[in-house]
Structure 1
Amino acid sequence: MAHIGGFTDGLDATEETQKICDEVKDQVQERTKKTYEEFRAIQYRKQIVAGANYIIKVYVGGFSYLCVKVYQHLDGVCEVIDVQDHKKDDTIIPF
Protein backbone atom coordinates (compact mmCIF):
# COMPACT_ATOMS: atom_id res chain seq x y z
CA MET A 1 0.00 0.00 0.00
CA ALA A 2 1.29 3.45 -0.91
CA HIS A 3 1.60 6.20 1.65
CA ILE A 4 0.79 9.66 0.32
CA GLY A 5 4.05 11.00 -1.07
CA GLY A 6 5.89 7.93 0.14
CA PHE A 7 7.02 4.59 -1.18
CA THR A 8 4.74 1.57 -1.43
CA ASP A 9 5.44 -1.36 0.84
CA GLY A 10 7.68 -4.04 -0.66
CA LEU A 11 6.01 -5.84 -3.57
CA ASP A 12 6.98 -8.86 -5.64
CA ALA A 13 8.62 -7.90 -8.91
CA THR A 14 6.45 -7.68 -12.01
CA GLU A 15 7.07 -7.82 -15.73
CA GLU A 16 7.22 -3.99 -15.62
CA THR A 17 9.97 -3.94 -12.98
CA GLN A 18 11.96 -6.55 -14.92
CA LYS A 19 11.71 -4.37 -18.04
CA ILE A 20 13.08 -1.45 -16.02
CA CYS A 21 15.97 -3.66 -14.83
CA ASP A 22 16.69 -4.74 -18.40
CA GLU A 23 16.77 -1.08 -19.45
CA VAL A 24 19.17 0.05 -16.69
CA LYS A 25 21.48 -3.00 -16.53
CA ASP A 26 24.24 -1.28 -18.53
CA GLN A 27 24.05 1.79 -16.27
CA VAL A 28 24.37 -0.42 -13.18
CA GLN A 29 27.33 -2.34 -14.64
CA GLU A 30 29.03 0.97 -15.44
CA ARG A 31 28.50 2.26 -11.87
CA THR A 32 29.64 -0.94 -10.15
CA LYS A 33 32.43 -1.77 -12.64
CA LYS A 34 31.09 -5.36 -12.74
CA THR A 35 29.39 -7.53 -15.35
CA TYR A 36 26.26 -9.45 -14.36
CA GLU A 37 25.14 -12.58 -16.19
CA GLU A 38 21.95 -12.63 -14.09
CA PHE A 39 19.98 -9.46 -13.47
CA ARG A 40 16.56 -10.47 -12.17
CA ALA A 41 14.12 -8.19 -10.34
CA ILE A 42 12.93 -9.82 -7.10
CA GLN A 43 11.06 -7.13 -5.16
CA TYR A 44 10.46 -3.41 -5.43
CA ARG A 45 9.04 -0.29 -3.85
CA LYS A 46 7.62 2.60 -5.86
CA GLN A 47 7.02 6.29 -5.22
CA ILE A 48 4.95 8.43 -7.57
CA VAL A 49 6.53 11.84 -8.15
CA ALA A 50 6.78 13.81 -11.41
CA GLY A 51 7.55 10.42 -12.91
CA ALA A 52 8.30 7.54 -10.53
CA ASN A 53 11.06 6.46 -8.19
CA TYR A 54 11.71 2.73 -7.90
CA ILE A 55 13.93 0.85 -5.50
CA ILE A 56 14.36 -2.62 -6.93
CA LYS A 57 16.05 -5.59 -5.28
CA VAL A 58 17.91 -7.39 -8.07
CA TYR A 59 19.40 -10.90 -7.97
CA VAL A 60 22.76 -10.82 -9.74
CA GLY A 61 23.90 -14.43 -9.29
CA GLY A 62 25.44 -16.59 -6.58
CA PHE A 63 24.54 -15.09 -3.20
CA SER A 64 24.61 -11.53 -4.51
CA TYR A 65 21.83 -8.96 -4.64
CA LEU A 66 21.76 -5.26 -5.40
CA CYS A 67 19.30 -2.54 -4.51
CA VAL A 68 18.95 -0.24 -7.50
CA LYS A 69 17.29 3.17 -7.18
CA VAL A 70 15.81 4.22 -10.52
CA TYR A 71 14.01 7.38 -11.58
CA GLN A 72 11.56 6.84 -14.42
CA HIS A 73 10.92 10.11 -16.24
CA LEU A 74 7.41 10.98 -17.43
CA ASP A 75 8.45 9.96 -20.96
CA GLY A 76 9.34 6.48 -19.65
CA VAL A 77 13.13 6.83 -19.83
CA CYS A 78 14.84 5.26 -16.79
CA GLU A 79 17.90 6.62 -15.03
CA VAL A 80 19.91 4.91 -12.26
CA ILE A 81 20.23 7.21 -9.24
CA ASP A 82 22.13 4.90 -6.89
CA VAL A 83 23.16 1.27 -6.36
CA GLN A 84 23.78 -0.53 -3.06
CA ASP A 85 24.95 -4.04 -2.22
CA HIS A 86 22.15 -6.01 -0.63
CA LYS A 87 21.54 -9.39 0.98
CA LYS A 88 18.73 -11.80 0.15
CA ASP A 89 16.85 -11.21 3.40
CA ASP A 90 17.43 -7.44 3.63
CA THR A 91 14.32 -5.29 3.65
CA ILE A 92 14.14 -2.66 0.91
CA ILE A 93 14.62 0.68 2.66
CA PRO A 94 14.44 3.95 0.68
CA PHE A 95 17.86 5.57 0.27
Structure 2
Amino acid sequence: MEDKIMLLRKIQSAIQQIQPLSSKGWPPGQSILRQLAWCEGFVSGCPSDTAPGPLSMGLIAIRELDMYGDKPDLALLISYIQDAVNALH
Protein backbone atom coordinates (compact mmCIF):
# COMPACT_ATOMS: atom_id res chain seq x y z
CA MET A 1 0.00 0.00 0.00
CA GLU A 2 1.19 3.44 -0.87
CA ASP A 3 2.56 5.59 1.91
CA LYS A 4 -0.14 7.84 3.40
CA ILE A 5 2.05 10.93 3.01
CA MET A 6 2.33 10.35 -0.73
CA LEU A 7 -1.42 9.75 -0.94
CA LEU A 8 -2.06 13.01 0.95
CA ARG A 9 0.20 14.86 -1.49
CA LYS A 10 -1.79 13.45 -4.41
CA ILE A 11 -5.06 14.45 -2.76
CA GLN A 12 -3.77 17.97 -2.15
CA SER A 13 -2.60 18.22 -5.76
CA ALA A 14 -6.03 17.14 -7.01
CA ILE A 15 -7.72 19.65 -4.69
CA GLN A 16 -5.54 22.45 -6.06
CA GLN A 17 -6.41 21.48 -9.63
CA ILE A 18 -10.16 21.06 -9.10
CA GLN A 19 -10.61 24.13 -6.86
CA PRO A 20 -10.76 26.66 -9.75
CA LEU A 21 -13.45 24.60 -11.49
CA SER A 22 -15.44 24.24 -8.29
CA SER A 23 -15.22 27.93 -7.43
CA LYS A 24 -16.77 28.78 -10.81
CA GLY A 25 -19.91 26.99 -9.63
CA TRP A 26 -19.45 23.84 -11.73
CA PRO A 27 -21.52 21.16 -9.89
CA PRO A 28 -19.31 18.15 -10.83
CA GLY A 29 -16.26 20.04 -9.59
CA GLN A 30 -18.01 20.91 -6.34
CA SER A 31 -18.93 17.27 -5.77
CA ILE A 32 -15.40 16.09 -6.52
CA LEU A 33 -13.95 18.77 -4.22
CA ARG A 34 -16.23 17.72 -1.32
CA GLN A 35 -15.19 14.09 -1.74
CA LEU A 36 -11.50 14.99 -2.00
CA ALA A 37 -11.76 17.09 1.17
CA TRP A 38 -13.32 14.14 2.99
CA CYS A 39 -10.56 11.84 1.67
CA GLU A 40 -7.91 14.27 2.88
CA GLY A 41 -9.37 14.22 6.38
CA PHE A 42 -9.80 10.45 6.38
CA VAL A 43 -6.24 9.73 5.23
CA SER A 44 -4.77 12.25 7.67
CA GLY A 45 -6.73 10.65 10.52
CA CYS A 46 -9.02 13.65 11.10
CA PRO A 47 -12.21 13.02 9.14
CA SER A 48 -14.60 15.95 9.40
CA ASP A 49 -17.69 13.78 9.06
CA THR A 50 -18.73 10.24 8.49
CA ALA A 51 -18.15 8.95 4.99
CA PRO A 52 -20.29 10.79 2.42
CA GLY A 53 -21.51 7.47 1.05
CA PRO A 54 -19.81 5.51 -1.69
CA LEU A 55 -17.17 7.61 -3.38
CA SER A 56 -18.18 8.52 -6.92
CA MET A 57 -15.58 11.17 -7.74
CA GLY A 58 -13.61 8.81 -10.00
CA LEU A 59 -16.61 8.17 -12.23
CA ILE A 60 -17.54 11.86 -12.29
CA ALA A 61 -13.95 12.83 -13.12
CA ILE A 62 -13.61 10.30 -15.94
CA ARG A 63 -16.92 11.40 -17.44
CA GLU A 64 -16.49 15.16 -17.02
CA LEU A 65 -12.72 15.68 -17.25
CA ASP A 66 -11.66 12.96 -19.67
CA MET A 67 -14.56 12.03 -21.94
CA TYR A 68 -16.04 15.54 -22.22
CA GLY A 69 -13.12 17.64 -21.04
CA ASP A 70 -9.44 18.16 -21.59
CA LYS A 71 -7.99 16.97 -18.28
CA PRO A 72 -7.45 13.21 -18.60
CA ASP A 73 -4.46 13.27 -16.21
CA LEU A 74 -6.55 14.89 -13.48
CA ALA A 75 -9.31 12.34 -14.07
CA LEU A 76 -6.82 9.50 -13.66
CA LEU A 77 -5.40 11.08 -10.49
CA ILE A 78 -8.86 11.40 -8.95
CA SER A 79 -9.73 7.81 -9.87
CA TYR A 80 -6.45 6.63 -8.35
CA ILE A 81 -7.19 8.53 -5.12
CA GLN A 82 -10.65 7.00 -4.91
CA ASP A 83 -9.24 3.48 -5.31
CA ALA A 84 -6.49 4.11 -2.75
CA VAL A 85 -8.90 5.54 -0.17
CA ASN A 86 -11.36 2.69 -0.72
CA ALA A 87 -8.52 0.24 -0.07
CA LEU A 88 -7.85 1.97 3.28
CA HIS A 89 -11.51 2.32 4.23
User: Same-fold call, TM > 0.5?
Assistant: no
Relative contact order (C-alpha < 8 Å, sep 6+): which is higher? 2
| TM-score of the two chains, using structure 2 as the length reference | 0.33
Larger relative strand fraction: 1
| TM-score of the two chains, using structure 1 as the length reference | 0.32
Larger relative helix fraction: 2
